[in-house]
Amino acid sequence: MALSTHRLLDRCQLLREDVDLRSAIAPSDQERAIAHCVAPVLSIPRGRWNADQMRVMTDGIGLLVLNGLLIRRVGVDGRFGAELLGPGDLLRPWQGEDIYSTLPHTTGWRVIEPARLAVLDGNVAARLARYPSLTGALAARALNRARRLALMMAIIHHPRIVTRLHMLLWHLADRWGRVRPDGVAVELRLSHSVLADLIAAQRPSVTGALGTLTDQGLIRPLTGGWLLRGDPPSELLELQDVGIAAPLAPARTA
């Protein structure tokens, strides 16, 4: 794959950086696999990312996020939705998004926190193919991303913005939360505009909803995030009951 405006200045031992991916391999094979599964690394600074400048990868898997946060924003007729992506997610941002769409829409990428992406090109794919369990693990990553999108669709259809936002914060806590004695900390630097895109709302409405949740004692602002208090909203638990959302995983302990 050629990267027209990006330079690959580094390489990484993929399985040393992605512990969950390494766990898919039998312990007796891990050291050999760590040394063998080396991939180029693409570093992207904070700000807008013009992913269209990347040429199509025809012989590989895609890009695997190692570090950082990215947001994919899609708009139709001036209304926007968004997807938050982080470590472990698989991307193919150069793949044409208009091929199967009859609705004119815009798509944009922004890097919220500086990102490092492993380039799983054809050479890397051949190395990974020596360990069949990795294929299943990577396929699971793609499936989990699709499930998260389905959950986000369910969240944004709730009529009350306060409830939408509360559900979103607990949804983010399922992946990025850290348990503390006084609650669950979600340490993500997300602007009110980003939160608005994630729940398909307007920024002033999100600012008001954050104030409401704070006044109700359900959240407390932190430097670079929020502290969630009490239990997840019942509306999110109902999505678990109908199979749209997986049961909330225990957040990391401080």
Mean pLDDT across 152-162? 91
Mean pLDDT across 225-252? 73
User: For position 20, what pLDDT does the model report?
Assistant: 94
CATH number of the domain bearing residue 54: 2.60.120
Whether residues 235 and 134 share a domain: the answer is no
Whether residues 138 and 163 share a domain: the answer is no
Q: What is the mean pLDDT of the chain?
A: 85
Q: Is 4 inside a domain boundary? A: no
Containing structural domain, residue 213:
157-253
Whether residues 245 and 128 share a domain: the answer is no
pTM (2 d.p.): 0.84
CATH number of the domain bearing residue 174: 1.10.10.10
Q: How many CA atoms lie within 13 Å of 30's alpha carbon, on the beta-carbon side? A: 14
Whether residues 16 and 140 share a domain: the answer is yes
User: For position 249, what pLDDT does the model report?
Assistant: 55
Whether residues 140 and 16 share a domain: the answer is yes
User: For position 104, what pLDDT does the model report?
Assistant: 44
Which tens digit of pLDDT belongs to each residue from 85-141?
Answer: 999 999 988 765 554 555 444 578 899 999 999 999 999 999 999 999 999 999 999
Number of domains in the chain: 2
Q: Is 3 inside a domain boundary? A: no
Which residues are CB-neighbours of 25 under 8 A, at least 6 positions away?
Answer: 15, 33, 131, 133, 134
Residue 166: pLDDT band with limits 50, 70, 90 = very high
Final residue of a structural domain among 102, 117, 144: 144
Q: Is 132 inside a domain boundary? A: yes
Q: Is 67 helix (H, G, I), strand (E, B) or coil?
A: strand
Whether residues 213 and 126 share a domain: the answer is no
**234-241 and 161-176 helices cross at what angle (nearest 10)?**
70
Q: Is the pLDDT of residue 238 over 90?
A: no
Whether residues 15 and 115 share a domain: the answer is yes
Whether residues 244 and 134 share a domain: the answer is no
The answer to whether 41 and 11 are in contact (CB under 8 A) is: yes
Final residue of a structural domain among 76, 110, 144: 144
Q: How many CA atoms lie within 13 Å of 243's alpha carbon, on the beta-carbon side? A: 0
Element counts in the chain: helices (H) and strands (E): 9, 12
Name the maximum alpha-carbon separation found in the chain: 55
Which tens digit of pLDDT belongs to each residue from 39-68?
Answer: 999 999 999 988 766 655 667 899 999 999
Q: Is 198 inside a domain boundary? A: yes
Name the DSSP class of 83: E
Whether residues 226 and 170 share a domain: the answer is yes
Which tens digit of pLDDT belongs to each residue from 14-31?
Answer: 999 999 999 999 999 999
Q: What is the 3-state secondary structure (H, E, C) of 107-143?
A: EEEEEEEEEEEEEECHHHHHHHCCCHHHHHHHHHHHH
Distance CA 42, CA 213 (A): 39
